Structure 1
Amino acid sequence: MDKGVWRNYNRSESTSVTDLLIRYQSEILPEKKSRQSVESVIKIVCRSELGGYSLAQLLPESIAKYRDKRLSMVSEKTGKLPSPQTVRHEISLLSRVLNHAMKEWGIPLPLGNPCLQIKMPAQAQSRDRRLVDDEEKSLLDACTNAQTPWLKPIVIFAIETGMRSGEMLETWRYSNKEQTKVSIGLQWTDVDLNKRTAHLPKTKNGEARTVPLSSRAIQVLSDLPHNPNDPRVFGTTYEGIHQAFVRACKRAGIEDLRFHDLRHEAASRFFEKGLREMQVAAITGHKTLQMLKRYTHLRAEDLAKLLD
């Protein structure tokens, strides 16, 4: 104390991991967009042995023990082990909350953030699924026969723009018998057919952007019905499209294709058209080139043509 290095750890001794996560959930999480998935992770950590630890008791060994136990714990719902990526998400969330507690709430930890002192589970390999051979034609043919007329134009628009599902479609979250609108989707007021742009005022990364529209994307919008009483460009929800997309893939005989893979496809096509990294990032909204790289998988045969 005479040297000025003593710190009072009463708050870290009296605050449990569960207490901290619940405070984060009530004070910080409402400002976040991906709230539902974070709430699920918070429940998992709070129910674990780690949830009963005080912050002062948290050691690297405690986190390592949690990591190993989670990786060997079979889910009651699925009957499967959690993926290493799932456990990475859980430890990463706890790490972010601990950093926030130290920096913003003034809760000191005797040994600092223990999550930063352990080996994390292996990071999942990013998906590189692209449309191959005649898959696009087969998929669009199957979309034509879908019960919802919105499916085909939405699939084409996703391939042409690289927009996320939440940027195109109204999205809802369902929890505890309550419905919360997560995204309003693309609105007609944000579309300028003359300038060939679509403005996205709210995106996943929190930064607005304006997406240039190809001739094919413009044609999709021009062919859509325009209900003056409905501000949405696509008069449906992601929930209404998701299952229709799964069924269309099944009818087309296409395996292991997710709706989000259309964003991968779009980003790769942008590069194959000769666009540069910053140009593609401006369209897709990726904040860093490293993030953009995960979604970009170029065909070797297309790159070979550029070498001629």
Structure 2
Amino acid sequence: MEWDNIDFERKIWHIPKTKNGKAQNIPLTDEAMEILQARKFTSESKWVLPSASSESGHLSHPNTAWKIICKKASIKNFRIHDLRRTFGSCMSDAGASQRTISTALNHMNSNSTMHYTIACMELVRQYMSKATRIIRECAENYNIYNTI
């Protein structure tokens, strides 16, 4: 990720080529922009995440750092890729449509998005309660509630 890929005015991260071979523009949140602006202010590198120990000069395989973070935090069986699933689930819980989540995660197939979104039990319960209320109101309105 190079600084040239960050559009600070439009708050966009442009990825020229993703895993699926297509370019992607990712909208950046205010929180992400604050972090990027702070890093840019102190950076002398063309890379957003420079690395002195990497041949490429930038962080390209974060798994080693992730393992160290998890070990220090006593977190087991949590892969860096699980963050995508968690983020997709949080977007779903916040009310985002499957299409919006699919776009954010750059999925070509909506089935992939379904795999990533794990519903929060309390949210499922809330929607089930809403659906139950609607069914009950309909049944009461059509006078069939007491015949069931």
TM-score (norm 2): 0.72
The structure with more radius of gyration: 1
Tell me which residue corresponds to 1:299: 120
Tell me which residue corresponds to 2:22: 207
Tell me which residue corresponds to 1:260: 81
Q: Give the 5 Å matches for 1:51-200.
A: 186-200=1-15
1:277–1:289 CA contact under 8 A, matched in 2: yes
CA separation of 1:243 and 1:268: change in aligned 2, threshold 3 A: same
State the Cα distance separating 1:244 from its structure 2 match: 2.2
The amino acid of 2:48's aligned partner reads: V
- Give distance in 1, aligned partners of 2:86 and 2:92: 10
Query: Mind listing any 5+ residue stretches in structure 2 that lack a counterpart?
Result: 52-58, 131-148
What secondary structure sits across from 1:238 in the alignment? Answer: coil
CA separation of 1:289 and 1:262: change in aligned 2, threshold 3 A: same
What secondary structure sits across from 2:26 in the alignment? Answer: strand
Q: Give the 5 Å matches for 1:210-225.
A: 210-224=25-39, 225=42
Q: Deviations over 1:243-269 (max 9, x none)?
A: 221122112111101111111111111
What secondary structure sits across from 1:211 in the alignment? Answer: strand
Q: Deviations over 1:91-147 (max 9, x none)?
A: xxxxxxxxxxxxxxxxxxxxxxxxxxxxxxxxxxxxxxxxxxxxxxxxxxxxxxxxx
The amino acid of 2:27's aligned partner reads: P
Query: Mind listing any 5+ residue stretches in structure 1 that lack a counterpart?
Result: 1-185
What secondary structure sits across from 2:14 in the alignment? Answer: strand
State the Cα distance separating 1:270 from its structure 2 match: 1.5
- The one of the two structures with greater contact order (alpha-carbon pairs below 8 A, sep at least 6) is 1
Tell me which residue corresponds to 1:251: 72
State the Cα distance separating 1:205 from its structure 2 match: 0.5
1:279 is aligned to 2:96: no
The amino acid of 1:189's aligned partner reads: D
State the Cα distance separating 1:226 from its structure 2 match: 2.4
The amino acid of 1:238's aligned partner reads: S
The number of residue pairs the alignment matches comes to 120
- Give distance in 2, aligned partners of 1:212 and 1:304: 31
- Identical pairs, percent: 26
- Give distance in 2, aligned partners of 1:302 and 1:192: 35
Q: Deviations over 1:53-106 (max 9, x none)?
A: xxxxxxxxxxxxxxxxxxxxxxxxxxxxxxxxxxxxxxxxxxxxxxxxxxxxxx
Q: Deviations over 1:238-293 (max 9, x none)?
A: 34x32221122112111101111111111111112211111112111100111111
What secondary structure sits across from 2:95 in the alignment? Answer: coil
1:187–1:233 CA contact under 8 A, matched in 2: yes
- Give distance in 1, aligned partners of 2:64 and 2:21: 28
1:272–1:303 CA contact under 8 A, matched in 2: no
